[in-house]
Every structure is written in structure tokens, then in C-alpha cells.
Amino acid sequence: MLRKSAIAMLFVVLVSIAGWMSMPLRVPPSANLALPLAAEPARKAAEASQTLLGGAYRFERGGWVYVHLEGSPREIGYQHGYLLAAEILDAFQSVKLRDTHETRRDWEFFRQAARAMLWPKIDREYQEELQGIAEGLKAQGVAMDLDDVVALNAFEELPDYYVPWYNANHREARALRLVSPGNCSAFVATGAYTRDHHIVMAHNNWTAYLDGERWRVIFDIVPRRGHRILMDGFPGVITSDDDFGVNSDGIMVTETTITQFAGWNPDGKPEFMRSRKALQYASSIDDYVRIMLDGNNGGYANDWLLGDNKTGEIAQFELGLKAHKVWRTQDGAFVGSNFARDPEVIAQDTTFDPHNSATSPNARRTRWEELMEGNQGKIDVTLALKFMADHYDAYEKKEQANERTLCGHVDASRRGVEVWEWPAYYPGGAVQGKAIDSRLAKALSFYAHVGHPCGQDFLAKPFLQAHPEFAWQAPLLRDMKAGPWTLFKAGDRAQ
């Protein structure tokens, strides 16, 4: 039993507790505001994000991711980074793996080049767009900064043009032998060559499957200045980069890369910026040529195939660093398969042999010329889709998918592509295709196909089992399934 004094003390304590519990709770004013104040930055950030996103949206169809972007440069960039954050991070990892492996340079080398050499040469408009991409990625929790974004945008020009130039100028004895790539098959035709005498254009993007499987974005961009753009593209990159697009003033654009090109101007403007600017602001073929020549750095040197839907005129614009040339017609066809055509460009800017008929660029050129001449007056979008899937080897004169066919399958070739330093069975080739004609261009629309346009799938696991020499790609190399030809247009919505 408790003593009486202990019982009395316990009673006093209980009464005190009861009295305290009955009192109104008084806390400092700052404590009352602590929770709302902590939530306020998050609320404002969410509101700012919604404002920047504006009318942007995305959906998926036919294996493609379609994104609609509109507004100021910062808004367009933010929408791009925010809506494609997962795809950008994934694509960035593949680019980083390939660039560092093939050049033996660490990623900081590319970040430094982006920061010190490229960034100061970028127009303010596109600086704001790139900063917007970095902001959008940050809002989604992706740990990529502005240097990463700029280096990603230059993934076609830094490793294959700048690094070889850098190695040569710094006389690095242990540097790898690097050559510029030569990717893609394309044509543009008009006049007597086409069924309705208007422009028809088509393009197969050739690249490593590691990156190419990820090259599946359709961008519908409505900038405050310049023309509306519909183009295919790579996640995180402000230009098409393979390059295929049409603007609202009827300029139709594609290209194929010049094989064995050598040259770089460190004081020039990045190619990725100039090509985006040209598609956004060109109202004529002359405009396009002028913008691309302004500050030409030699990066990602291409044969541009152009069309002006207002006039029916087409052009081939061969852009080297020391030399360039433009051919134009309203009744004819131009083809591209990574060969240089102008003798001055070949002599001054390349080591390419135009007479080696066995090599991929020249064999495909022969096939293109056969198709153009053999189908005069018949060429339309339907025929263009068949051209994109073509497996005829013009050198061996038989049907067999390999590095010499318009729908390229280098992974099926024991020869590889020596002029690009692609070894036997290199996992690369045609990774997607697009086609457009004047009627589609007027409606800002085109057909697109993910994966090999012939419809064959590439399966990573059995390939790597058969070719362990490419095991370094295993963490990120994945299946490239062929999708259907799919029609996209500006202002498209999910069905």
C-alpha cells in the first residue's frame, strides 16, 4: 500500500497535468508559420513549372514519342527537358558511353569543350533554349547540368570532328585514329521525275544502333520568332541532327554526311545551332545556305538536300569547311549516300575516293541513280517508302541486306565499313526512315518509321552472344524493333 503522503503527492501531480491539458495551446508565431513557409517554395516552383509548360504536351504512337513545344526559347527548352526527361537521361547515357569509349576521352573533356569553345558562339536565343532544357531536367530530378546538355547537343560534331582535329593539333602520339562518320541514305526529286511533278523527299538515318534505337522523337515546335517546325530528332537536342524536317514556309530539309571529311574551326558556330536556326528562319534555299555558311565550323559536314515547296525548286548543298557548292533544279533529282560530289570539296576537305565502287557510299550512290532514272515520272511517297526498304547490293548485283544497301545492316556484314572505321558486324545501319511530298509539306506533315524501314528487328542479346567484341555496349544496347510507317502532322494529338 502507498503511504498517505505519497498518495497526496500523486493527487497534486494529476491535478496539475489535468489543468495543463485544459489550457489553450500557445506557440510562438514563427512556429505557426513554419509549415506554410516550408511548403511555399514548392508551391511557387510548381506554379512556375505549369506556366513554363503552357500548352506543351506529349504522346506516343508507332514507336515514336511526339512532343509539342511552344513559346519563348526558355519555355520551349523547359518543355523539352521536362516532358522528355526520362528519354534524355537514357539517350545521354548512351552518347556518353559511345563517345568516351570510341575516343578514349573522359566525359569532362567534352563538357570542357562545350563550355569553353561552343557555348560562347551560340546565339542568345538558343542559349536560353539550352538553359531551359537544363531547368526542365532539374525540375524532374535529372542530374544533368548545362555543360552536359550542350555537349549532348554536339554529340555529332565533338567526337567525330573536333577530337580528330584536337589530336592532330596536339600531336598526341597515342591518340586513336578517328574519322568522321558517313551516315544516311536520302533523295529529293521534282518535275519530270515525280508522279505529280512536285517535290518528293525521303531519308534513312544510319547510325550506331546504340544511339539509333533512341532516335525516335517527333518535334512540333512553335517558336515566338521564325517558322513553325515539324522534324524528327534525338532527345535533348534542339535540332533534328539526322536531319529531316519541314517548316511552315515550305522549306523541306534532309542530308547525308560526307565520308572521310577532315577539318574543324574552333572559332566557328556549332553546327547543331546553325542547322536549327536554318530550319527555323529560312524562307528560301538561299536563306538556308546563307545561315549554314555563317560561322561554319566544319562540324558534322553534310550534303544537304533541300526543297522549296513555294517554287518547286530543289537543291543539293555540299558543305565542306574549305569548299562548298550548290546545285539547283526544278526538274530533276539529287541523291545522298555519304559521298562527296564536288571535286574541290573532295580535294580540299576529304580523303574520300569517289572511284571505289565497292565501298558503301559509292555502291549506294549507284543504286540511287538506278532508282531515280528507272522510275522517272513515277516517284511518289509510296515509292519512296519502298526505296527506304531497298536491299539491292549494286556492287554484287544481288538482293542481300548489308552495308551497301539503302536500308543498311552493317551488323550483317563481315566487311563492316572501312571508310568509317566500322569493323566487321558493327551494330549500325538504318535505324529509322521518313518521307514527305509537297502535299504533306503544305500540311506540315510527314511519314516516319522507327527501326529498319525494311521491317526487320535487331535483337541485342543474340547479337552480343554472336559478337562478344561489342560487349562494351551490353549495358545499354537494346532491341531495335521495327514499327509501322506512321503519319505525323503539326498540332497532332493522341488518338
CB 232, CB 212: distance < 8 Å: no
Instruction: Identify the helix (H) or strand (E) that includes residue 431.
Output: strand 428-437
154 within a domain of the structure (yes/no): no
- Please give the pLDDT value at position 206: 97
Position 238 in a domain: yes
Q: What is the pLDDT of residues 435-450, one digit of tens each?
A: 999 999 999 999 999 9
Is residue 26 over pLDDT 60?
A: no
What average pLDDT does the segment 147-169 reach? 96
CB 218 within 8 A of CB 133: no
Give residue 181's pLDDT: 78
Beta strands, E only, 265-339: 302-308, 313-319, 324-329, 332-336
The model's pLDDT over 412-434, given as tens digits with 9 standing for 90+, comes to 999 999 999 999 999 999 999 99
pLDDT digits (tens, 9 = 90+) for 128-149: 999 999 999 999 999 999 999 9
Residue 17 confidence (pLDDT): 36
Angle at CA 220, nearest 5°, toward 49 and 208? 100
Please give the tally of structural domains in the chain: 1
Tell me: the pLDDT tens digits for 261-275?
Answer: 999 999 999 999 999
Distance of CA 266 to the CA centre of its chain: 22
d(CA 358, CA 84): 41
Peptide bond connecting 342 to the previous residue in cis, omega within 30 degrees of 0 = no
**pLDDT of 45 over the 70 cut:** no
Q: Examine the pLDDT at 24 and tell me if it is beyond 70.
A: no
Residue 452 lies in a domain: yes
Question: Is residue 372, in this structure, part of any structural domain at all?
Answer: yes
Specify the pLDDT at position 19: 40
User: Is residue 173 a part of any domain in this protein?
Assistant: no
Give the tens place of pLDDT for each residue, 303-328.
Answer: 999 999 999 999 999 999 999 999 99
End-to-end CA distance of the chain: 82
Question: What is the C-alpha to C-alpha distance for residues 180 and 175, in angstroms, rounded to an integer?
Answer: 15
- Asked if residue 240 is part of any domain, the answer here is yes
186: confidence class by pLDDT, cuts 50, 70, 90: very high
**pLDDT tens sequence across 58-75:** 999 999 999 999 999 999
To the question of pTM greater than 0.85 for the whole model, the response is yes
Of 181 and 387, the structure prediction assigns the larger pLDDT to: 387
> Per-residue confidence at 495, pLDDT binned at 50, 70, 90?
confident
Residues 6+ apart with CB under 8 A from 244: 203, 205, 231, 232, 253, 254, 434, 446
| Domain of residue 426, residue span | 185-488
CATH of the domain at 279: 3.60.60.20
pLDDT, greater one: 161 or 172: 161
Q: Which residue has the higher pLDDT, 172 or 173?
A: 172
Judged against a pLDDT cut of 80, whether residue 8 lies above it is answered with no
- Least confident stretch, 21-35, 40-54, 68-82, 358-372: 21-35
Three cell numbers written together for 406: 539503302
Would residue 190 count as lying in a domain? Answer: yes
Grid cell digits, residue 448: 516516319
Residue 155: inside a domain, yes or no? no
With 50 as the cut, is the pLDDT of residue 49 above it? yes
The pLDDT of residue 271: 98
Alpha-carbon dihedral sign for residues 302, 359, 425, 372: positive
What is the spatial distance between Cα 229 and Cα 406, in angstroms, rounded to a whole number?
Answer: 27
Per-residue pLDDT reduced to its tens digit, 451-492: 999 999 999 999 999 999 999 999 999 999 999 999 999 999
Q: For the chain, what percentages of helix, strand and coil (3-state, to nearest 5) are there?
A: 40, 20, 35
Would you tell me how many other CB atoms lie within 10 Å of the CB of residue 196?
12
pLDDT for res 41: 63
Tell me, what's the pLDDT at 123?
98
What is the residue-averaged pLDDT of the chain?
92
